[in-house]
Structure 1
Amino acid sequence: MHKDGHTGAALLLTAPLSYWLITYAGLPWGALLLVVASGVASLPDIDQKTPFLDHRGFTHTIWFCLAVSIIAGAGAYLVFLQGATLGSSLGIDSVRATSQAVPVSLVVFAGALLSLLSHLLADAITVGNGKMAVRPFWPMNYKKLRFGLVKSDSSLNAVLIAAGGLAQVGMFVAAVSP
């Protein structure tokens, strides 16, 4: 799967949560989820640019997805608290700002995790030999996850980005409609 396909898969998988966030927490929360999910969608493919990592190795595991999501959520929490501290020195209500740190970190965590898991699923639907299969529980389990439905450079990439974008727009319209 290529970058557009991974972004589209992430947008599709996060669309229901986006709807929920926009409906019950407001548009900025859905936008945060959208930014995070789009931003990390292709992160597992960093192994293609790193000489000491095998493609679809560690970066294509559940463990990598969890580790990155925890780090992203914790980082968002710390950055938000630092901003609240800075804001209080500028006269901004730091209690209110601090109270948002946990929800922000949870949205960042959820957006990253869903996006990264969608990457594994999108790669699993592509055709590939044994080396290109996704092994989501490696090194604890070497079982391959591969459905082999399409080539990674197929038109499915364009379909996924379009479907993901439409799903997000649909969720937004449904959430803000009276």
Structure 2
Amino acid sequence: MFPPGHYGMALALYAVVGALVLRRGYVRDALSGGAIVLAYTLFPDVDGKLEFVVHRGVTHTLWFAAAVGLFCVLVVASDLRGRSGRSAVAGACWAFFLGSFAVVAHLAADLLNPWGVMPFYPVTPALYSLDVVRATNPAANYAMLAGGLCIGATAWTLAHPAGARASLAVRLYRRLRGEVAVAE
């Protein structure tokens, strides 16, 4: 798939996770987690910029998903040092999950086209493909993006905690209109 299709698939799949995190009351973690998944979902296509790596080879495997997860743990490692043991482990697990989830979402989108993916390469060269749509189909890519946005917005609406504060934009709008006092 092209970037819009990958973003749509990542949004659609992360909507489930984000809704569960939102339901627990972790609004900031749900939003930042979604941003991280979107930021890393195109990472497997780095192979297109490297001459010595075959496209849809090693970067389109579950091993690469684990490597990206470990990379995300290393990125947040300095922040985790100041936390208690349990909190640091939870933060490391969350970072690993988000990084590897982004790559798995990418693989799921590539699974839809005839070229498929080899998720267990080099252990087995088995190719998996659902052969639903060609990756070069712009209508399919933008339909996936629109679908992902709709699923994400629906998940946000259904899972957002009732007692949560209004967003900054909404609070500023209300303040400018004089509907709310300064200390909301």
Give aligned-pair identity as a percent: 25
SS, match of residue 10 in structure 2? helix
Counterpart selection for 1:136 from 115, 119, 140: 119
Gaps of 5+ in 1: 85-93
Normalised by the size of structure 1, how large is the TM-score? 0.82
One-letter code of the match for 1:79? S
Change (3 A) 1:32 1:177: closer
Please, what is the CA RMSD of the aligned residues? 1.9
For residue 2 of structure 2, what is the aligned residue in structure 1? 2
Residue-by-residue CA offset, 1:38-86 (whole Å, 9 max, x unaligned): 011111000000111100000001100111112212432x13136x4xx
SS, match of residue 4 in structure 1? helix
Q: Would you say the 8 A contact 1:60–1:136 is kept in 2?
A: yes
One-letter code of the match for 1:160? M
Residue-by-residue CA offset, 1:9-61 (whole Å, 9 max, x unaligned): 11111111100111104210101210111011111000000111100000001
Q: Which runs of 4+ in 1 moved over 4 A?
A: none
Counterpart selection for 1:169 from 118, 128, 153: 153
Higher relative contact order (CA 8 A, sep 6+): 1
Counterpart selection for 2:89 from 86, 97, 102: 102
- Structure (1/2) with the larger helix percentage: 1
For residue 89 of structure 1, what is the aligned residue in structure 2? none
Gaps of 5+ in 2: 163-184
Normalised by the size of structure 2, how large is the TM-score? 0.79
Deviation at 1:148, TM superposition (A): 1.7
One-letter code of the match for 1:29? D
Residue-by-residue CA offset, 1:93-122 (whole Å, 9 max, x unaligned): x66xx8644333322222222221121121
For residue 27 of structure 1, what is the aligned residue in structure 2? 27
Rg comparison, structure with higher value: 2
Whole-angstrom CA distance in 1 between matches of 2:140 and 2:87: 38
